[in-house]
Amino acid sequence: MLSQIIAVTGVNLRSLRERAGSSAVAIIGIAGVVVIFISVLSIAEGFKAAMVKAGDPQRIIVMRTGSDTEMTSGFSGDQARLIMDTPGIQRGPNGPLASAELFVIVSHPLAKTGTDANVPLRGVSSTVLQVRPEVTIVEGRMFESGRNEIVVGRAASRQFANLTVGSSVRWGENTWQVVGMFDAKGSITESELWTDARVLQPAYRRGNSYQSVFARLDSVDSFQSVKDAMTSDQRLQVTVLREQEYYAAQSRVLGTVIRTVGFIIAGLMGLGAIFGAVNTMYSAVASRTREIATLRALGFASFPVVVSVLVEAVLLSLVGGVIGGVLAYVVFDGYQTATMNWQSFSQVAFAFAVTPALLAQAMLYAIGMGLLGGLFPAWRASRMPVVTALRQL
């Protein structure tokens, strides 16, 4: 049986060249679907990666109870102090490694379109670089406390107009000097602008209030004890989250939208490609009617014929899958884009990410399309009555 399968499959594959045209149509069809599949899902992957990178397992975010974003959170300066002094938070030479922060949005034009977009402007404490050690100043310097100076994220500097080191911007009654640019290893933090929280408070009439506290834990394991200490304190009404949980929740809306839309599009196109593959395999079987009938007359069983057609279909779809995967990787991996984060209505920049897992998923999808497309024609090939088939042209 095995030798029969190998023999028939070999004959099939050797004759592929004569059916180059229709085979190419099937390959291109499947490659197209794979490109769409990967490109759409790489948007979701890239967004998730930027979000996940922003989260450090040893870092927590503290917000007011019931807030799901910093936008709607708020507490007094005294409460922020209490939060930062909670035992279990790492301490440096100048006190706890925690940063009480403000998060506001300013209207500023996009570099690409010149139209206004919502830029996230974050007021941070002087400890911010110890709290977020992944952030480094790559150009210029850090802002000085008490001055109207900002440092811009690498992505923000690229996405928004006129935010290069040395320029100055005016929002409302305040003028700000851009004194530096920071890198945060491609995480969404790079979409933000930072300034001194104490300068931001009066500029946005926030009194002595903050919206969140970011803090480094002594160790990854002290999360629960720190959380319990804060939530049981009568003077505070706060939600304590690991930073990773927070950013995962932040990416939920956009991730769902992209994934739903992506799967609908890729699913429909997959169906289209299956029809294409069916047509191709049918004509492949039809063009070899006599050949198959001859094999059958010589005593080959119908099962090897079925297998050979399926192998051909899967092989074609694999070729299509690889072409599509390579194309998608070359064109879309690392493609820089920006969108609105629906939870805070502010801009986030990120790069498309074509991950190995995504490529593997796409390959499986391609093989599935090939199998489905080949099944029906294969069954037909095996069922052809030998005598009528031999008589055919």
Interactions with other proteins, residue window 146-205 (CB under 8 A)? 171-173, 204
Looking at the Cβ atoms of 103 and 143, the one nearer to other proteins is: 103
Q: Which of 347, 365, 378, 381 binds other proteins (CB under 8 A)?
A: 347
Asked if 20 is part of the footprint of other proteins (rule: CB under 8 A), the reply reads: no
Shortest Å, Cβ 141 to other proteins: 26
Residue 40 touching other proteins (CB under 8 A)? yes
Determine the distance from the C-alpha atom of residue 107 to the mean position of all C-alpha atoms in its chain, rounded to a whole number.
26
Whether residue 63 contacts residue 211, with contact meaning beta carbons closer than 8 Å, is answered with yes
For 105-147, give the DSSP string.
Answer: EEEEEBTTT--EEEEEEEEE-TTHHHHSTT-EEEEE-PPPTTS
Q: Is 16 in the site for other proteins (CB under 8 A)?
A: no
Rule CB under 8 A: say whether 71 interacts with other proteins: yes
Please, what's the b/e burial string for 231-248 (b: 16 or more CB within 10 A of its CB; e: otherwise)? eeeeebebbbbbbbebbb
Q: How large is the C-alpha radius of gyration of the chain? A: 30
Q: Which stretch binds other proteins (CB under 8 A): 65-73, 78-86, 150-158, 362-370?
A: 65-73
End-to-end CA distance of the chain: 29
Phi first, then psi, for residue 152 (nearest 5°) are: -115, 145
Say what angle helices 2-14 and 289-297 make with each other, to 10 degrees: 160
Check: CB of residue 218 under 8 Å from CB of residue 88: yes
Q: Judged by CB under 8 A, does residue 24 bind other proteins?
A: no
* Residue type, position 356, single letter: P
378 and 281 Cβ atoms separated by less than 8 Å = yes
The correct pick among 5, 8, 27, 43 for binding other proteins (CB under 8 A) is 43
Give all strands (DSSP E) within the chain, no chain letters.
59-64, 75-76, 91-92, 95-96, 98-109, 116-124, 136-140, 149-153, 168-171, 174-183, 193-196, 209-210, 212-216, 238-242, 336-341, 346-351
Within 238-277, the residues that bind other proteins by CB under 8 A are 249, 252-253, 256-258, 260-262, 264-265, 268-269, 271-272, 275-276
Nearer to other proteins among residue 98 and residue 203 (C-beta): 203
> Considering the rule CB under 8 A, would residue 68 count as an interface residue with other proteins?
yes
Query: Going residue by residue from 293 to 332, which x/- string records binding to other proteins, judged by CB under 8 A?
Result: ----------------------------------------
Residue type, position 221, single letter: D
Scanning 185-193, 240-248, 309-317, 342-350 for contacts with other proteins by CB under 8 A, the matching segment is: 342-350
Residue count, binding to other proteins (CB under 8 A): 58
According to DSSP, the residues that pair with 153 across neighbouring strands are 182
CA distances for 175 relative to 28, 107, 108, 168, angstroms: 55, 14, 13, 7
For the CB of residue 54, give the shortest distance to other proteins in the complex, in Å.
19
Which CB atom, from 93 or from 172, has the smaller least distance to other proteins? Answer: 172
Q: Which of 8, 49, 98, 117 binds other proteins (CB under 8 A)?
A: 117
Is residue 176 within 8 Å of 169, Cβ to Cβ?
A: yes
67 binds other proteins (CB under 8 A): yes
32 binds other proteins (CB under 8 A): yes
CB closer to other proteins out of 249 and 371: 249
Q: Which residues bind other proteins (CB under 8 A)?
A: 25, 28-29, 32-33, 35-36, 39-40, 43, 65-68, 71-72, 104-107, 110, 113, 115-118, 171-173, 204, 237, 249, 252-253, 256-258, 260-262, 264-265, 268-269, 271-272, 275-276, 278-279, 282, 337-340, 342, 345, 347
